[in-house]
Amino acid sequence: MRYLTFALAKGRLAEQTMELMEQIGMPCEEMKEKSRKLIFVNEELKLKFFLSKASDVPTYVEYGAADVGVVGKDTILEENRNLYEMLDLKLGCCKMAVAGKESMKETIDNMNIIRVATKYPKIAEEFFLEKKQRTVEIIKLNGSVELAPIVGLSDVIVDIVETGSTLKANGLTVLEEICPLSARIIVNRVSMKMEHSRIMDMIGKMREARGGL
Ligand code: PRP
C-alpha cells in the first residue's frame, strides 16, 4: 500500500484536523511529540502528514505532493488551483467581508476609484468586478489589514471577519458580506482516481464524525 499524504494548514486548523483524524481511527502519534520534524508518519496505516503555510496547501495538492489538503475556503478561492473540493468540515467558520469606516457607507458608491487593501487580491478584485461592476485599486498587504483605512492607505479592506472584535476595536464596520468561509477537504485529481476507495471511506467517516455534514 502506498502512503496517503496530507498537507495541513499549520495552526489551530491543523490541531482540530488531527483531533478529527484521531476520532475516525487515522491518528498520528508522531505529530504529538515536540520536535523539529516536518513530516509525520503513521506506518501502520501508511499515512503521512505535513504542515505548511495555508496558502501553500492548494499548491502541494494540485501538484500531487499531497493527496489530500485541509485548508480554509478563503485560501481555496484566492489560489484557484486545479483540484477537487470534497467536504466542508464546518470548522473555523467565519466570513469574507468588505469593511471600512462607518462613513464609507454613504460615500463608497460615489467614489471614482476605490482603494482596497487586502491579503486576498483575487477575491477582492472579483467581488467588485462581478458584484459591483467596478474596477478597484488593489493594495496587497500581508497582515494587520485593519490598519490600512485608519492610516489612510486605503478606503476599505477586504478581510476575514470572525467575531468582529478586531474591526470594532479599530472603529471599523462590515460594509458588505462577500461569502461564508470554513475549512474544506481538498483532493488531488489523480489521487481521487488512484485512491478512490481510501479517500471516500475517510470522507464518509469525517462526515459522520462531524455530525452527518
Ligand atoms: C484575522 C483577520 C482579522 C481577524 C478577524 O487575522 O485578518 O484581522 O482575524 O477576527 P475577529 O473578527 O474575530 O476579530 P489574523 O489573526 O489571522 O492575523 P493577520 O492580521 O495576519 O491577518
188 and 122 inside one domain: no
User: pLDDT over 70 for what percent of the chain?
Assistant: 100
One domain for residues 68 and 113? no
Q: What angle do CA 172, 176, 158 make, to 5 degrees?
A: 65
Atom of ligand 1 nearest to the CA of 145: 20
Please determine, for residue 205, whether its predicted confidence score (pLDDT) is greater than 90.
Answer: yes
Rounded CA gap, 133 and 7, in Å? 36
pLDDT of 175 higher than 80:
yes
Q: How many domains does the chain have?
A: 2
Question: Does 62 lie in the same domain as 25?
Answer: yes
Three-state SS at 141: coil
Q: Mean pLDDT over residues 77-92, rounded?
A: 98
Same-domain status, 81 and 33 = yes
12 and 31 in a single domain? The answer is yes
Do residues 61 and 76 both lie within one domain?
yes
Whether 160 is in the pocket of ligand 1, judged by its Cβ within 6 Å, is yes
Question: Does pLDDT of 101 surpass 80?
Answer: yes
For the Cβ of 161 lying below 6 angstroms from any atom of ligand 1, the answer is: yes
Averaged pLDDT of the chain:
96
Query: Does the pLDDT of residue 45 top 80, yes or no?
Result: yes
| 184: its cell numbers | 474544506
Domain at 112, CATH number: 3.40.190.10
Instruction: Using pLDDT thresholds of 50, 70 and 90, give the confidence band for residue 100.
Output: very high
Residue 34 pLDDT > 90, yes or no?
Answer: no
Ligand 1 centroid distance, CA of 54 (Å): 14
Query: Is there a single domain that holds both residue 172 and residue 194?
Result: no
Q: What's the domain range around 70?
A: 4-92+182-209
pLDDT at 36: 85
